[in-house]
Amino acid sequence: MADTVRKRPALRSAGAPARKAKRRYGAAPLTISRAELVVNGSDREFRELVHNLFGFSALHERIRRGHAQFIGLAGIEYTVLIAIAHLAAEGDVNVKTVADHLHLSGAFITSTTRRLLQLGLIHKTMDTVDRRRVALTVSGKGRAALEKLAPSQRTVNDVEFGCLSREEFKALNNLMRRMIECGDRAVALQNYLLIGETKPEGNGK
């Protein structure tokens, strides 16, 4: 009877399909080369970081749109409005001030402030000395909208960043400032490389 019992096939290990696929297709090329970011010859942890940043950014954008929707604005309109309100506590605010603060172009901020002006949420005042400069302030209507939003905004923001201690919050804010500086340099480099790749050939330049 023992001779009639069929032998069971050997069980494959859980990692076998992955190893087989890796042998078939080869490992993906590294997306980073700095020794500080490569772990055991792999960029897996770097990719995890990038994708986590992407995931948080997407979630934060949904929250931003929710804040904006609460007072009848688009996401960027709400962001520019509240940026003007907070920057005004530090001095005069103009298009360049807001553009630098939000890391956006002056033309984009000009377009957005034009919409906020049409809605009566901000005021524009011409500088008496330099007529090219325009001061931006939040109107009474704009402040009323931000005050209406504030209670739910505080509650949601407290939950969104509730996992951070004070020390972690300060450290993260400092890291983000430095990463934005690196990001600016990376964008400039990428634009340079793309322009170099798209130059027409044969002109000797």
124 and 86 fall within a common domain = yes
152 and 172 fall within a common domain = no
71 and 119 fall within a common domain = yes
69 and 132 fall within a common domain = yes
Predicted pLDDT at 202: 45
pTM flag (> 0.85): no
**pLDDT tens-place string over residues 52-68:** 999 999 999 999 999 99
Q: Above 80 in pLDDT, residue 197?
A: no
Over the chain, what HEC string results? CHHHCCCCCCCCCCCHHHHHHHHHHCCCCCCCCCCCCCECCECHHHHHHHHHHHHHHHHHHHHHHHHHHHCCCCHHHHHHHHHHHHHHHHCCCCHHHHHHHHCCCHHHHHHHHHHHHHCCCEEEEECCCCCCCEEEEECHHHHHHHHHHHHHHHHHHHHHCCCCCHHHHHHHHHHHHHHHHHHHHHHHHHHHHHHHHHCCCCCCC
**pLDDT tens-place string over residues 109-164:** 999 999 999 999 999 988 666 667 789 999 999 999 999 999 999 999 999 999 99
Q: Above 80 in pLDDT, residue 16?
A: no
Name the domain count of the chain. 2
Predicted pLDDT at 167: 98
Percent of the chain residues topping a pLDDT of 70: 80
Q: In this structure, is residue 179 part of a structural domain?
A: yes
What range does the domain containing 172 cover? Answer: 166-197
